[in-house]
Structure 1
Amino acid sequence: MELRQLRYFIAVAEELHFGRAARRVHIAQPPFSQQIKGLEEEVGARLLERNSRKVRLTNEGRYFYKQALDIVAQAEEAAATVGRMAKGEYGNIKVGFMEIAMDSLLPEAVRSFSHRYPGVSVRLSQFGASIQLERIHSGELDVGFSTVYLRAMEGLSSVKLFSRKHVLAVPEDHIFTAEKSVSLKEIARENLLMFPRSGQPDLYDSIMQAFTSRGLVPKVRQEISGLSGASALISSGMGVTFLPENSRVARKGIAMVPISDDFPRMDIFMVWNSEDYSNTAGVFMEWVADYFSVSKAFAGKVSG
């Protein structure tokens, strides 16, 4: 039994006329009639009663008509879905991110992608940089967003999406809020809250180097594990920290002060397995790259 035969039967069941049904499916009537006869022989039942004046469905024919509609619809839906999958317009992608990386325009990029490709489910999971790289390498994640530049890991590639200036986040009643900008010499006298070095070693070391190159030793009093924790500590007067310019975690009780000295920027990278990624992941990465107007570098093997 072929889908073509089911479509022929649906046509005659709806037209109740062999000539009109044959024209509807663009086939001559004699071979059309032979296809219907062959279908009846295959199912072992008469599906249609016909005479010189009219055609009508038998009880078996009415049942078979309903089933044929479902089968053809399911087949067409499956074919359409597979086609969308091949184009990367349907499926699932697993995306890892660092909290600080999503404190930016990235959420808008992901949201706009989901609006454009509603058939793709984007599953977001928060991980540190090292765990992201491990899971991308193992295939547990398709794409990652991190502040860590990828130096060398077999099969992985990265591209910088954007860069942001740092500002100093201070309590809103801090003396620095009266200044247009603040120097590292002034910051070195403050209790500094820092994200753990293990999470973003390159950035951490660059920040420390900015101080030591000026003969300064910052007073790192406490490590902070997340943006919400940082906001709470700063607003309560426990210290100051560096955050990306226009950070979304700014809350009541916190002010942002520009830094006058040269200071490391926060770079956000997209990381992926260049040796094996799905069509859907490729479409997602291209969308994100276009969103941030960066060159595409998605060479490698694309899995189905």
Structure 2
Amino acid sequence: MNGHTMELRDIEIFLTLAEELHFSRTAERLHVSVARVSQAIRKQERAIGVRLFERTSRAVTLTPIGRQLRDDLLPGYQQIQAAIDRASTAGKGITGLLRVGFSAAWSGNLVARAAEVFQSRHRYCEVQIQEIPLQDRFGLLRSRELDLQLTELPADEPDITTGPVIFTEPRALVIPAGHPFAGRDSVSLEDLAHSPLITIDGPPRYWLDAHFPRHTPTGRPIPQGPATVAWQEVLSLVSAGRGVSPTSARAAQYYARPDLAYVPFHDASPIEFGLLWLTTAETPKLRAFVQLLLDVGR
């Protein structure tokens, strides 16, 4: 080009105008003034010594040399942008593998949606998701097999950070279809005094007390039924008439069965689903995914 060089920004202006064929749209897209676009194109045309665009009052079109320049510049420009993008991503630490756990099926759906968006934004990061065992709430975080999990709170563990609550769910009681409560619109926490409560074996006592209480709000004892380690077993025990079990109201959509009924509580606080991670394992990648989950979960 007669010893003249084109700055990267001028190349970007040229290629954007070659795509948009409209000065105002090009300026808007690049957050510059229309005058800056015109100036860059005039400078390039002077340096090369030929017109790159034909301008009329109705249209902007590329000249044959303008088309040739676009075709020659585009692959190199895209390569430069990809290199900058890779360096920026690596600089932020958003590369490699991020492993995210979930408990309930509905939290798994949300994590999967977030993972898809995250991977489209951070092409050098892979997100793997997996269900966490019902009975072992924190084991996979502690063994570093998971980086982050979206599960039911509370979590009162000295080595684990409790992050933001992503969503809440109303509570319901799962009962046999023939149970006297099955025809009701709602139940009370006081009603738990009338049936054995099927619980989970393994979680810490404070977590069990939040989800499977031993006393009603007025202090009446709640009979304790069998404990199990799998949700499908809970449902089988309920169906067999061995007791009842609290759950999220949304379980009625995910685990509908003719032998079971789900009745909402009218006086129970909602279940909070929040993010947890090992305090010593917090990374920029993890923080970026937490922020995305907050955005997607709203």
TM-score bin (small chain): 0.5 to 0.7
User: Residues 122 and 83 of structure 1: is their aligned pair in 2 closer, same or farther, counting only changes over 3 Å?
Assistant: same
Question: Which one of the candidate residues 112, 124, 128 is aligned to 1:123?
Answer: 128
Match of 2:243? 239
CA distance in 2, matches of 1:179, 1:171: 13
User: Residues 213 and 252 of structure 1: is their aligned pair in 2 closer, same or farther, counting only changes over 3 Å?
Assistant: closer
Bigger shift: residues 219-228 or 83-92:
83-92
Matches within 5 A, 1:71-150: 80-87=85-92, 90-97=95-102, 99=103, 102-118=104-120, 119=123, 120-125=125-130, 126-127=132-133, 128-135=136-143, 139-150=144-155
Match of 2:209? 205
Question: Which one of the candidate residues 287, 293, 304 is aligned to 2:292?
Answer: 287
Q: Deviations over 1:107-146 (max 9, x none)?
A: 23432431452433222232422314524xxx54321223
Q: Name stretches of at least 5 consecutive residues in structure 2 with no aligned partner.
A: 8-77
- Residue 265 in structure 1 maps to residue 273 in structure 2: no
Q: Deviations over 1:243-297 (max 9, x none)?
A: 111124422222111224x33432212013455533332221110012234xxxx
| Native 8 Å contact 2:141 2:147 kept in 1 | no
User: Residues 186 and 170 of structure 1: is their aligned pair in 2 closer, same or farther, counting only changes over 3 Å?
Assistant: same
CA distance in 1, matches of 2:160, 2:171: 32
Return the offset for 1:85. 3.7
User: Residues 113 and 140 of structure 1: is their aligned pair in 2 closer, same or farther, counting only changes over 3 Å?
Assistant: closer
| Native 8 Å contact 2:170 2:249 kept in 1 | yes
- RMSD (CA atoms): 3.6
Match of 2:262? 256
Q: How many residues align?
A: 223
TM, length-normalised to structure 2: 0.60
Q: What code does the residue aligned with 2:137 have?
A: A
TM, length-normalised to structure 1: 0.59
Identity %: 18
Q: Name stretches of at least 5 consecutive residues in structure 1 with no aligned partner.
A: 1-18, 27-72, 294-304
Q: Deviations over 1:57-106 (max 9, x none)?
A: xxxxxxxxxxxxxxxx9998676544334456643101233x3xx33344
Larger radius of gyration: 1
Matches within 5 A, 1:3-22: none
CA distance in 1, matches of 2:158, 2:191: 39
User: Residues 228 and 109 of structure 1: is their aligned pair in 2 closer, same or farther, counting only changes over 3 Å?
Assistant: same
User: Residues 168 and 209 of structure 1: is their aligned pair in 2 closer, same or farther, counting only changes over 3 Å?
Assistant: closer
CA distance in 2, matches of 1:238, 1:141: 35
CA distance in 2, matches of 1:239, 1:231: 10
| Native 8 Å contact 2:226 2:242 kept in 1 | no
| Native 8 Å contact 2:197 2:212 kept in 1 | no
Match of 2:184? 179
